[in-house]
Amino acid sequence: MALLPIMMESSLLPMSNIFISIFLFLLSLLLFSQFFMRRPTSKLKLPPSPPKLPIIGNFHQVGTLLHRSLRALSHKYGPLMLLHFGNVPTLVVSSADMIREIANNHDVIFCNRPTSTAARIFFYGCADIGFAPYGEYWRQGRKVCVLELLSLKRVLSFEFVREEETAGFIHKLRDASLRGNKVNLSEMLIATLNNIVLRCILGNKFEEDDGKSKFGELIKRVMIQFTSFSFGDFFPALSWMDHLTGLISSLKATFGEIDPFLEQVLKDHEAGRGSSSDHSDNKDFVDILFQLKKDGMLQMDLTRDNLKAILLDMFMAGSDTTSSTVEWAMAELLRNESMMKKAQDEVRKVIGKKSRIEVNDMNQMDYLKCVIKETLRLHPPAALIFREASERVNLGGYDIPPKTRVLINSLAIQTDPNLWDRPEEFVPERFENNQIDLKGLDSHYIPFGFGRRGCPGLKFGVFTVEYIMASLLYWFDWKLPGGNNIAPTPKDLDMEDVFGLSAHKKNPLIVIPILYSP
């Protein structure tokens, strides 16, 4: 999220002077109405808040790395902090104690997610599961996802997809290794994970002649536009500005390409030609949803828009987070040579001289699981978890009004020095002989969220990350480009992140793979 003044400046550049005058006049009216026409309200005990400016509120106090800016502010104003982004009151939660109180006492009240202009356009009026309001439709939709689409049995049924796509990935790395070439591992990971998720959800990776996925390229655009600034999201009275800045037209143009694409996918599956796989016994998510609907197994009425929204939802949630987790895990191991060796030794000992990694092998890779847990602690894919209060509630001794947006800072909680030893350091060993899991049951470790609105795709994502990580560590040794004696130290590899739908490395991970012979 960019600063409001920057967005306002860039949005106003192409406007004529008359539009600028109108804009300033309307802003003045808005300020007048807020200042002079505000009705008295009952006295509430609100959380502490930094001083805010008229109209823009606290926008000026946060930077582009929103999760880090909020963590810094929480150190000064406390674990519960009330900010105002434009007209939107926003509660920032940075405490494991507050997470425990929410999960134990107020989970239903904080079970909604705030919507946005982009979400309403891309997800057919929020007809998906991710942004649907808490209620019967959401409950039934999540139940279908958890039991029918993302269960352990279903995850294991897609083993052949993971094997085939990972084998192609390893083949490309092997070619680069034999030539002594460096590779953009970040880019290759995104392409591989996109292919895996596309085949599992839609049955095809939709590759063009140049090897790029048409749908994957569309999703890249969606993810960029999803984080674009919208006046309407923070200043409802100024939603018309989104038309003047071109945001609405650009969102609708992208949606105009996605909708017919997904519609054709549904038609192809209805005609029995949806999957490109020879594994007829393994159905993709579209097949499963159609079969459930045909058999009357759904306790909800899924329209075509619902189907398309859910499929898009699952792809966006599944591809970006898994690729960023593998990217960060490899970056951290490259910076820690002894940890890299320990992880490789374990993986190579378990696999031995077998030509493929089997499901049972993954259960024996305890240190690799620790590496992944530590990666998710230090680099949570959802550094901020978005919720909204559905009614007035008392939290931590403070009154939280209804419709207050809530930002749960998982990064701040998972790097809290009161809860974690050496919180800013990468230490996988902290999870050895530690029963903490990934399900959000421990309030100080919530990489996939918690409660009813926790991520339903946890099993799918973690299993995929483990499989790709094991493949990378088994088949290759790794070094950073720049010379034969480069040591993987912090100064050699930057670890800057960038805030978005998931927190990726700011700069891609460029490495040299060295083929390992078992």
**pLDDT per residue as tens digits for the range 295-320:** 887 777 889 999 999 999 988 887 78
Q: What are phi and psi of 93, to 5 degrees?
A: -105, 120
For residue 385, give the amino acid letter.
I
Q: What are phi and psi of 497, to 5 degrees?
A: -115, 170
- H or E, element range at 200: helix 185-202
pLDDT digits (tens, 9 = 90+) for 13-72: 333 344 444 555 555 555 554 544 444 445 889 999 999 999 899 999 998 888 999 999
Whether the Cβ atoms of residue 438 and residue 376 lie closer than 8 Å to each other: yes
pLDDT score of 15? 37
The residues spanned by each domain of the chain are 4-515
| Class of the CATH-defined domain 4-515 | mainly alpha
Please state, in angstroms and as integers, the Cα–Cα distance from residue 407 to each residue in 83, 92, 187, 315, following that order: 10, 5, 30, 23
> What mean pLDDT is predicted for residues 151-165?
91
pLDDT score of 451? 92
The whole model's pTM is what? 0.88
pLDDT score of 412? 96
Contacts 24+ apart (CB under 8 A), 486-490: 487/337, 488/334, 488/335, 488/336, 488/337, 488/340, 489/335, 490/335
pLDDT score of 490? 46
Please determine, for residue 393, whether its predicted confidence score (pLDDT) is greater than 60.
yes
Q: How many CB atoms lie within 10 A of CB 444?
A: 18
Interatomic CA distance for residues 95 and 72, integer angstroms: 13
Please determine, for residue 266, whether its predicted confidence score (pLDDT) is greater than 90.
yes
Please state, in angstroms and as integers, the Cα–Cα distance from residue 423 to each residue in 304, 315, 383, 468, 505, following that order: 46, 32, 15, 26, 19
